[in-house]
Amino acid sequence: MYKIVQINAGVCAADGFFADGISAGLKPDGAKDMAFVYSDTLCEIASVFTTNKMAAAPIHHFKAKGTFQTNFVLINSKNANAITGDVGVQDINEILATLPQEAINPVMSSTGVIGVRLPKEKIIAGAKHFDFSQKNPHNAAKAIMTTDTFSKEIALRVELADGKSFTLGAMAKGAGMINPAMATMLCFMTTDADVKAQEMQSILNRVTRTTFNAASVDGDTSTNDTVMLLANAKSGAYDATAFEEALHAIMHFLAREMVRDGEGATKLVTYEVTGAKNDTEAEIAAKALSDSLLVKTALYGEDPNWGRIASTIGASGVACAQEKLTISFEDVCVYEQGSIYFDAQQEAKASQIMQRDAFSILCDLGQGNGKFTAFGCDLGHEYVKINADYRT
């Protein structure tokens, strides 16, 4: 038996973790653009990175270290240090070499424009203003934002039956290039649970599939996607089931927050696919829906155009047939196994549901027991505006 309680303090919530965000002049408007996460003792690490073959320099730098422990992550926004070649990795080494000796095996993470070298001097100068004794999770969460319109933070405390407890804290950024195969999303999680890297990594892999990898804004997979989980064991407590449940709650919350903040998004839509031949086919169909431009624009138009939903499932390649398919908007069934339910009344009901900020579309394929839930958002004029003018 255990209890999971939501607490404050974001990425600093767990014992021994510190974080802050400052302005180093990378963003033109004096906004915060550099953050650190620091633990006063060394941490076990679990991580998931982008599958993009043009992975950014920080990811090459991290992976080249092999198996290691660290207590320090330096993060900058505005510049992704991606497709910058060997000099990108050299820049990281030079920057990290200037940090105080308290930072052991430090790593770096970046997000922003691709293909431009890091403003190294500004970052080195900025890092000199870090105060490792600060617990300012909000500042850190704000500093890692790019096109995000709000910062994303959460912390949970797990209270075990024996009176012991451990805590998980997290911050994330991401509002575009959020894709079924990970996202330009950065997510830093900290915990004082007493868990080893290998076990933590298996749990992180499982939870990633149904949270970050089930979220889509635009179907693109960035060069910089990073999820990092640091555990310093300070609580002396751990329970595998409780840990996985709390981690899932944190990552599910953050994934939905990222989709809700999707560039130009006005709605958070959950696609619950059931009755697929197997879970893999359910995942393919659910992600096809959350990625379809025609579905996304219909959502934006608040048009319960179930024909596009059926067509998208048909185009995804999974086993399906019109006479076995059922489609509902929440509890309003708009198509059932070959019957076209659509009449003015049903349309009006479904349209009303679509006016909500968040709702579910349920598709049963009638083929088997496979199921998967993906989440995505609509695509409106703001998406075009944000992405057409991103670099200017």
Please say if 184 is a catalytic residue.
yes
Binding segment (CB under 8 A) for a second copy, from list 25-33, 61-69, 273-281, 304-312: 304-312
Residue 145 C-beta: closest distance to a second copy, Å:
18
Residue 130 C-beta: closest distance to a second copy, Å:
28
Of these, 49, 188, 243, 335, which contacts a second copy (CB under 8 A)?
335
Nearer to a second copy (CB atom), residue 167 or residue 223: 223
Nearer to a second copy (CB atom), residue 113 or residue 249: 113
Q: Is 353 in the site for a second copy (CB under 8 A)?
A: no
Q: Is 306 in the site for a second copy (CB under 8 A)?
A: yes
Residue 52 C-beta: closest distance to a second copy, Å:
4
Q: Is 53 in the site for a second copy (CB under 8 A)?
A: yes
Which one of 70, 111, 184, 312 is the catalytic residue? 184
Within 66-95, the residues that bind a second copy by CB under 8 A are 80, 82-86
Q: Is 101 in the site for a second copy (CB under 8 A)?
A: no
Q: Is 307 in the site for a second copy (CB under 8 A)?
A: yes
Of these, 2, 132, 342, 359, which contacts a second copy (CB under 8 A)?
342
Q: Is 380 in the site for a second copy (CB under 8 A)?
A: yes
SS3 per residue for the chain: CEEEEEECCHHHCCCCEEEEEECCCCCCCCCCCEEEEEEEEEEEEEEEECCCCCCCHHHHHHHHCCCCCEEEEEEECCECCCCCHHHHHHHHHHHHHCCCCCCCCCEEEEECECCCCCCHHHHHHHHCCCCCCCECHHHHHHHCCCCCCCCEEEEEEEEECCCCEEEEEEEEECCCCEECCEECCEEEEEECCCCCHHHHHHHHHHHHHHCHHHECCCCCCCCCCEEEEEECCCCCCCCHHHHHHHHHHHHHHHHHHHHHCCCCCCCEEEEEEEEECCHHHHHHHHHHHHHCHHHHHHHHCCCCCHHHHHHHHHHCCCCCCCCCCEEEECCEEEEECCEECCCHHHHHHHHHHHCCCEEEEEEECCCCCEEEEEEEECCCHHHHHHHHCCCC
Q: Which residues are catalytic, by number?
A: 184
Question: Which residues of the shown chain bind a second copy in the complex (CB under 8 A)?
Answer: 51-55, 80, 82-86, 113-117, 176-177, 179, 181, 218-223, 292-294, 297-298, 300-301, 303, 305-308, 310-315, 317-323, 335, 338, 340, 342, 379-381, 383-385, 387-392
